[in-house]
Amino acid sequence: MQWVIIGAGNMGCVYGGNLARIGVQVAFVDIWKEHIERIAENGLRVEGLTGSFEIRAEAFTDAQRAPSADAVLIAVNAYSTRDAAQAASQVLKPEGFCLTIQNGMGNIEILSEVVGPRRVLAGLSFQSGDIAEPGFVRHTNNGPTYLGELDHSRSARLLRVCDLFERAGLHPVLVEDIIATIWSKFVHNCGINAICAITGLRPGHIRKVPELDQFQTRVLEEALALAKAKGIVLDDPDPVATVKEYCSHKFHRVSMAQHLARGRRTEIDALNGYVARESETLGLSAPYNTAITELMKGREYRRPATHGEAE
């Protein structure tokens, strides 16, 4: 089974590296030229929660050069989903499919539009990685990978992916209603990522600042109000408590903080920004998600210094 990983960032390398570790054919596609060249020439080095190892894999900056794929893992940031979907359409075999493990809302809709809804498998991940340098990723969190078909079926391809992920140590969990599960992760991310990225704190630090702890609660409550208004029924009876408990013992650097450190755009528009926009459309109030979105826009702002101007 040939996999093509579109998006060789933190998550793409964690998943692609561990699949290659168990003998799966893996190729990476990403626009980061130095990273891709390092993987193509020297392989990908992985350290962390699934061990320390190196794998050999093909790697390309141009998707048209990648091998024909039975499965494409979409692991790009949400703002690049349409480009990734177009790339996937170029490499997928006639019976191939895409699996998204992305954060935020709107990704499934874009993939379904470009490659067709029957070729989309949905997932979400509680794995984390941190690229230390080109060709080297640290596997920093090894939580579950939720998987499901959009039509709630237990298809042969879903079971095959589950088996591969189990052998790769990626903790797959099959769920019937993957959309509701994605919303649970969406709420989770809205309550953690931007707060940590803006403040520079780790998730476990949030509760130590009473004002920030209360701010997080308000952000979560607004996201949950939106879910309710859209008719999304979450399995968790108390998502706020669940997020608080998760944060209490997690001290990894969240992906949004990593993006800021590299001067890259974040996924704020597909997370808290989505809550702000959709809430306004539905006549709901979401001042906390609006505020954190606007602050993140300022945090993302970068410009080169001009003559006589401080950086």
Domains of the chain: 2-176 (3.40.50.720), 183-300 (1.10.1040.10)
DSSP per-residue letters across 134-178: TTEEEEEEEEEEEEEETT----HHHHHHHHHHHHTT--EEE-S-H
Q: What is the mean pLDDT of the chain?
A: 94
Q: Does 213 have pLDDT greater than 80?
A: yes
Q: Which two tokens stand for residue 20?
A: 């290659």
Q: What is the reported pLDDT for 97?
A: 98
Q: Does 304 have pLDDT greater than 70?
A: no
The pLDDT tens digits for 108-141 are 999 999 999 999 999 999 899 999 999 999 999 8
What would the mean pLDDT of 179-186 be, rounded to a whole number?
Answer: 93
pLDDT-wise least confident of 51-60, 89-98, 232-241, 297-306? 297-306
Q: What is the reported pLDDT for 109?
A: 94
Q: What is the reported pLDDT for 263?
A: 87
Q: How confident is the model at residue 302 (pLDDT cuts 50, 70, 90)?
A: low
Q: Which two tokens stand for residue 119?
A: 């070729």
Per cent of the chain over pLDDT 70 is 97
Phi, psi of 100 (to 5 degrees): -100, 135
What would the mean pLDDT of 38-57 be, rounded to a whole number?
Answer: 97
Q: Does 311 have pLDDT greater than 70?
A: no
Helix (H, G, I), strand (E, B) or coil at 211: helix
The pLDDT tens digits for 25-43 are 999 999 999 999 999 999 9
Q: CB–CB of 70/93 below 8 Å?
A: yes
Q: CB–CB of 246/196 below 8 Å?
A: no
Q: Which residue has the tokens 């020297």?
A: 42
Q: Does 306 have pLDDT greater than 70?
A: no
What would the mean pLDDT of 147-174 be, rounded to a whole number?
Answer: 98
Element (H, E) at 8: none
Q: Does 308 have pLDDT greater than 60?
A: no
Q: What is the reported pLDDT for 301?
A: 86
Q: What is the reported pLDDT for 309?
A: 31
Q: Does 20 have pLDDT greater than 90?
A: yes
The pLDDT tens digits for 63-84 are 999 999 999 999 999 999 999 9
What would the mean pLDDT of 252-277 be, rounded to a whole number?
Answer: 91
Per cent of the chain over pLDDT 90 is 90
